[in-house]
Structure 1
């Protein structure tokens, strides 16, 4: 099995990077859609329905599959011999940040469902602030992997 993982390593790494980019794009965009949904949708009667569709398609067809691919490829990378040295701190900081990013992913889905149920209690300002969460986590992840602190 380890020989296969070593052979697949460049492909696994490439797919992992592409999946992360797709996932991050959604994590940046969905909170911004929520801001527009809250602040602009009332001006146009059809807008809430349009926002619901956009938010659902972004989450269901881009973000969620990208998150799953990110996790699968990431775990394959971790299982590849020689890729991760667990005596360093960087795999642990990256792991914690990825778990936090996954929690944020599901938090966004819970908020999406709150919009659908018309029980959203947050403001555009809240979503603007939450839009910084993936940026902070991305910085931790990239520095962990590249600088290996």
Structure 2
């Protein structure tokens, strides 16, 4: 018989794999930051984009989980499963990806742009807003896990649009650099 994926054992294994991947990822980043900046730049930028994509995937998926969780009866095994999914998404993917996005983004902002440019300041403000959205989702996930179903599914559908709008603004700021 296969082990239930929401069990403690499966959760510990998933956490160990996530921690191992994070350590390897950070080790690669440290090595890259200590080589010739010209050679490191495209690699650090690529790793930054990978971290951002991972973070955005979580930001776009979490509200959908809240909608499904809202439909699950409080205290049911289905509600417990959603709580496990939300916690793992936040702790194993979203927060590590957010931290790596910030670390590498700030590194690039300093080494390449010296924090100069209105577009960069606007981008940082939008990324800060994404960080607040991330932490709002984390608080909501903890509340759902306790059986405090916050807001309606319609609210979470609307909240799903905020990371999308911020992502569009960030991409335009980075690619077009309008000011």
Segments of structure 1 that go 5 or more residues without pairing to the other structure are none
CA contact (8 A) 1:52 1:116 kept: yes
Moved over 6 A (4+): none
Question: Is 2:91 the counterpart of 1:60?
Answer: yes
Aligned partner of residue 73 in structure 2, secondary structure: helix
Aligned length: 146
Shift of 1:116: 1.8
The answer to whether structure 1 residue 37 and structure 2 residue 69 are counterparts is yes
Instruction: Please give the alpha-carbon distance, in whole angstroms, between the structure 1 residues aligned to 2:95 and 2:119.
Output: 25
Residue 147 of structure 2 is aligned to residue 118 of structure 1? yes
CA shift, 1:121, in A, is: 3.1
Of the three residues 16, 25, 28, the one matched with 2:57 is 25
In 2, Cα distance between equivalents of 1:116 and 1:105: 17
Query: RCO higher in 1 or 2 (8 Å CA, sep ≥ 6)?
Result: 1
Partner in structure 2 of residue 90 of structure 1: 119
Instruction: State the Cα deviation string for residues 86-130 of structure 1 (Å, max 9, x = none).
Output: 2x3210110110000000000000101111222233111111100
> How far apart are the structure 2 equivalents of 1:37 and 1:66?
24
Q: Scaled by the length of structure 1, what TM-score is found?
A: 0.90
| 1:71 counterpart = 2:102 | yes
**Partner SS state of residue 118, structure 1:** coil
Q: Mapping of 1:8-23 within 5 angstroms? A: 8-23=40-55
Cα distance in structure 2, aligned partners of 1:5 and 1:79: 12
Residue 11 (structure 1) shift: 1.3
Q: 3-state DSSP class of the match of 1:42?
A: coil
Per-residue deviation, 1:8? 1.7
TM-score w.r.t. structure 2 length?
Answer: 0.75
Partner of 1:138: 167
Structure 2 spans left out of the alignment, 5+ residues: 1-32
